[in-house]
């Protein structure tokens, strides 16, 4: 018998205005409830529609506890279906990507087939079901499509029936996706360059919190970015700086830089750092990219699009994007102390290939299981996971720049070293962990 399943009050009590209880990161029951509630009431990123360009193309993923298929139908619509045969539960597709043969999904076990919209097409020896009441069974309904939104190529799903609508949930935070898409002279993104899959032996929230934590880079990344800076300087600071130096060095900018870049916080746990400028602002221009942008958008609008260099945008709880470098990271929780972080990269359609090279270089340097930046981040997350096991202090402190005025709402612009993005995330966490529950 758990402490939290039937006690919304107890769940709410874990989130104070300025601190959160360590059970959020440690308690297996809360993790199960997150998968049942947070991961079902909110909008979770599945994939990008460029991964399934043609009818019948699929991409399979795990959303919370749910194996899903992102599938382009014969009508061109991208849907997200349960990857579970309506008969006995066999996963219909074992591969990660591919194309359905003969325009249908076919179960590898008993050969039931489904149309690309998920409806049941054929069952072998169908006469065996005559007069059995099969028509009114769950199985006869086929694969239920989940509530799904394709926002400018980014495909999100809401698994549960309850929860906010897509626009209500994300609101103006979608401007970060807009900016990422508009950085393409053709107004289109394509997944390219492969996916890095980095296993984190920590709770998913350490990762998500860290994305808009502007107080850690100069400390945690001194050994990597600081060493890169020193090695380059000892080599004579050759100009122009190589791309890898351009990408590493801003991580060890001072507190003043990170404070002044600014953070914008929205309702429902979303936020982005880099309102005014970011570590991506001073990248050298690449080839004739800016000319191509001006051709599409005109001088003024092109400059406005490229002038936005947002750092990280968190689409709570599952997706974080870096529009300025065309890379995203997706948190896929596996267990209370185990999380898969996927890093995907994108081609800006119509832009020179060198830009994709910049993107793949960045994601390798920063997000790979072999990244010296990633190593130190993960070391800290894992240390939290182990450190929080100690008794004596149950609370994780989020007091930095806290103001009691936040009780009215967290939305607004702040200095980026403020811990308000995290306070906003946990307000949303408590909201969706208790949505529709009976007080116990």
Partner 1 sequence: MSVSVRASDTALVDFVYREARLIDEKRLDAWYELFTEDGRYWMPLTRGQPDGETHTSLFYEDRLLLKVRIERLRSPNAFSQQPPSFCQHVLQQPTVEQADADANRYVLRTPFMYAESQLDRQLILAGVSWHHLVLIDGALRIRLKKIDLLNCDAALPSIQLFL
Contact set with partner 1 (CB under 8 A): 192-199, 201, 220, 222-224, 226-228, 230-232, 235, 242, 244-245, 248, 340, 343, 345, 353, 356-357, 360-361, 363-364, 368-370, 372, 374-376, 378-380
Residue 287 Cβ vs partner 1, minimum distance, rounded to whole Å: 13
In the complex with partner 1, the residue whose CB is nearer, 147 or 368, is 368
In the complex with partner 1, the residue whose CB is nearer, 62 or 401, is 62
Length of the chain in terms of residues written: 440
Identify whether the C-beta of residue 326 lies closer than 8 Å to the C-beta of residue 257.
no
Spatial separation of the C-alpha atoms in residues 329 and 363, rounded to whole Å: 10
In the complex with partner 1, the residue whose CB is nearer, 161 or 219, is 219
Residue 121 Cβ vs partner 1, minimum distance, rounded to whole Å: 32
Q: Which of 9, 11, 64 is nearest to 429 (CA)?
A: 11
Residue 194 Cβ vs partner 1, minimum distance, rounded to whole Å: 5
DSSP H helices in 127-281: 166-170, 175-182, 204-211, 217-220, 227-234, 243-248, 255-261
98-101, Cβ contacts within 8 angstroms, sequence gap of 24 or more: 98/57, 98/58, 99/54, 99/56, 99/57, 99/58, 100/56, 100/58, 100/71
In the complex with partner 1, the residue whose CB is nearer, 36 or 222, is 222
Residue 389 Cβ vs partner 1, minimum distance, rounded to whole Å: 16
Residue 84 Cβ vs partner 1, minimum distance, rounded to whole Å: 22
Spatial separation of the C-alpha atoms in residues 164 and 76, rounded to whole Å: 26
Residue 421 Cβ vs partner 1, minimum distance, rounded to whole Å: 23
Alpha carbon dihedral 345, 350, 351, 356, in 10-degree steps, equals 20
Identify whether the C-beta of residue 177 lies closer than 8 Å to the C-beta of residue 171.
no
């Amino acid at each position: 018998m758990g402490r939290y399943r039937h006690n919304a009050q107890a769940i709410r009590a874990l989130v104070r205005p300025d601190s959160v209880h360590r059970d959020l990161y440690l308690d297996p029951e809360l993790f199960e409830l997150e998968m049942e509630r947070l991961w079902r009431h909110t909008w979770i990123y599945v994939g990008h529609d460029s991964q399934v360009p043609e009818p019948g193309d699929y991409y399979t993923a795990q959303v919370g506890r749910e194996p899903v298929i992102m599938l382009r139908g014969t009508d061109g619509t991208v849907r997200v279906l349960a990857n579970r045969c309506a008969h006995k539960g066999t996963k219909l597709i074992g591969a990660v990507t591919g194309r359905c043969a003969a325009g249908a999904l076919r179960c590898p076990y008993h050969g039931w087939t489904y149309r690309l919209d998920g409806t049941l097409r054929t069952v072998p020896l169908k006469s065996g079901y005559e007069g059995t009441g099969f028509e009114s069974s769950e199985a006869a309904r086929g694969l239920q499509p989940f509530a799904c939104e394709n926002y400018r190529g980014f495909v999100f799903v809401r698994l549960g029936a309850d929860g906010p609508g897509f626009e209500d949930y994300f609101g103006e935070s979608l401007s970060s996706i807009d900016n990422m898409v508009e950085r393409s002279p053709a107004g289109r993104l394509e997944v390219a360059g492969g996916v890095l899959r980095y296993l984190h032996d920590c709770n998913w929230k350490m990762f998500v919190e860290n994305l808009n934590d502007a107080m850690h880079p100069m400390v945690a990344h001194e050994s990597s970015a600081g060493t890169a800076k020193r090695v380059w300087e000892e080599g004579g600071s050759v100009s122009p700086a190589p791309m890898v130096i351009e990408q590493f060095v801003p991580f060890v900018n001072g507190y003043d830089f990170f404070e002044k870049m600014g953070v914008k916080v929205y309702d429902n746990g979303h936020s982005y750092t880099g309102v005014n400028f970011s570590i991506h602002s001073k990248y050298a221009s690449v080839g004739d990219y800016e000319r191509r942008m001006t051709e599409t958008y005109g001088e003024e609008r092109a400059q406005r699009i490229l002038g936005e260099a947002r750092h990280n945008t968190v689409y709570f709880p599952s997706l974080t994007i870096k529009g300025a470098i065309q890379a995203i990271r997706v948190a896929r929780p596996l267990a209370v102390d185990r999380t898969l972080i996927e890093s995907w990269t994108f081609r800006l359609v119509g832009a020179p290939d060198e830009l994709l090279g910049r993107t793949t270089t960045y994601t390798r340097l920063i997000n790979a299981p072999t990244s010296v930046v990633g190593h130190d981040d993960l070391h800290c997350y894992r240390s939290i996971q182990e450190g929080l096991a100690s008794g004596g202090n149950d609370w994780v402190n989020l007091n930095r720049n806290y103001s009691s005025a936040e009780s009215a709402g967290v939305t607004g612009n702040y200095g980026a070293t403020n811990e308000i993005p995290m306070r906003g995330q946990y307000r949303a966490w408590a909201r969706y962990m208790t949505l529709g529950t009976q007080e116990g």
